Amino acid sequence: MIAAPRRRLSAEDWRNLRTALPFIAPWIVGFLAFTVYPIVYSLYLSFTHYSGFGDATPAGLDNFKHMAEDPLFWQSLGNTMYYTALAVPIGVVVAIALALMMNQNLREVAFYRAAFYLPSILPLFALTFIFIVLLNPGFGLVDYLLELIHIPAVNWLGDAHWTKISVVMLAQLGAGGPALIFLAALRAVPGELYEAARLEGAGALRRFWKITVPLITPVILFDLIYGTILGVQIFTPAFVLAGGTSGGGAYTTGPDNSLLFYVYYLYKNAFQYSDMGYASAMAWVLFIMSIVLSFAIMRWSRQWVHYEGA
């Protein structure tokens, strides 16, 4: 944001400020109480040993040192990056494909729009339950369909190679939401551009790459960043797929810990091992990571994002 030349606030400015304050006060209070304070407080906790009961005792850099040599931390980070690196680009492609389909000039297009959009507003935990049945190795539909086209059955939820792929597939059911944003962007593309390209003899595919894609790059950028932020906090499907608790209250994390995502491990540290200090340190690393990733994508986007008038 560019700093405006500093000027004194007029009496009217002050009056407007006073008028607006009661309206935005709930947001200010909520933001301070439920966002800013927790972030600051967890920074403090990350330098302590704290079980959630009694007092937090100073721990210096213990939690961060522990992190560096904790194999489960690295595995959870690796799982999360693997998932995000797959789910986000695939998600963008699926969303654009759905948007193109939603944009077809057909009488029954409203039906397709509803079909593509509806799964994205359903509770994720319920979709995950359905996936457990769909992917069941004994009686699941997906393995049966694979068998029909002579592809060997896959133990989706029992084989560490496939568990994360299952979550990536599950995530695509949510593509209808971003697809609607892409649809709006498609509709904002001026028709004359296509007309001109057509007159110059550009085919459908060429028009798509040369006109449609550049004009929707700002939405692609938003989708990449927001998708990445959602990707690094993936939790619910893993928690439900892995099965939750085993005997003794330990949370199961899938074959070979393949569903131990970052937030799941953070959750386990906080609420299963009562290691609030370590969990807070993990929370801060996640915070920094999401900022770094967002800015990295933003920077990279300068090379390909197209802004109107630029």
Considering only residues 198-257, where is the footprint of other proteins by CB under 8 A?
A: 198, 204-205, 207-208, 211-212, 223-237, 239-240, 243-245
169 within 8 A of 176, measured Cβ to Cβ: no
Least distance from C-beta 150 to other proteins, angstroms? 14
In angstroms, the Cα distances linking 174 to 50, 117, 124, 248 are 38, 8, 9, 34
**Structure tokens, 10:** 């007029």
Exactly one of 49, 67, 82, 119 binds other proteins (CB under 8 A); that residue is: 119
85 binds other proteins (CB under 8 A): no
In angstroms, the Cα distances linking 167 to 132, 160, 181, 190, 261 are 11, 12, 23, 37, 11
Q: Which of residues 132-161 bind other proteins (CB under 8 A)?
A: 132-134, 136, 138-141, 144, 147
276 binds other proteins (CB under 8 A): yes
Least distance from C-beta 277 to other proteins, angstroms? 9
With CB under 8 A as the contact rule, which of the stretches 64-72, 73-81, 170-178, 301-309 interacts with other proteins? 170-178
Least distance from C-beta 186 to other proteins, angstroms? 7
In angstroms, the Cα distances linking 288 to 5, 19, 146, 212, 285 are 32, 36, 42, 34, 5
| Nearest by Cα to 179 from 294, 88, 93, 307 | 93
Exactly one of 59, 87, 221, 260 binds other proteins (CB under 8 A); that residue is: 87
Please state the separation of Cα 66 from the chain's center in Å.
27
Residue nearer to other proteins on the CB measure, 90 or 160: 90
Q: How many angstroms separate the CA atoms of 256 and 119, rounded?
A: 30
Q: How many angstroms separate the CA atoms of 100 and 209, rounded?
A: 13
Q: Where are the alpha helices (DSSP H) in the chain?
A: 11-31, 37-45, 62-68, 71-102, 109-117, 124-134, 141-148, 163-172, 176-188, 191-199, 204-207, 213-232, 236-242, 262-271, 276-301
With CB under 8 A as the contact rule, which of the stretches 65-73, 155-163, 274-282, 301-309 interacts with other proteins? 274-282
**What SS3 state is found at 49?**
strand
Rounded to the nearest 5°, which phi and psi values hold at 137? -70, -25
Q: Which of residues 19-58 bind other proteins (CB under 8 A)?
A: 19-24, 26-27, 29-31, 33-35, 37-39, 41-42, 45, 52
Least distance from C-beta 256 to other proteins, angstroms? 20
Exactly one of 167, 221, 259, 260 binds other proteins (CB under 8 A); that residue is: 167
Least distance from C-beta 60 to other proteins, angstroms? 19
Least distance from C-beta 104 to other proteins, angstroms? 6
User: How many residues form the binding site for other proteins (CB under 8 A)?
Assistant: 135
Exactly one of 98, 154, 221, 260 binds other proteins (CB under 8 A); that residue is: 98
With CB under 8 A as the contact rule, which of the stretches 70-78, 154-162, 193-201, 302-310 interacts with other proteins? 193-201
Residue nearer to other proteins on the CB measure, 105 or 303: 105
Exactly one of 75, 174, 221, 257 binds other proteins (CB under 8 A); that residue is: 174
**What SS3 state is found at 57?**
strand
Residue 280: how many other CB atoms lie within 10 Å: 25
Exactly one of 74, 125, 300, 304 binds other proteins (CB under 8 A); that residue is: 125
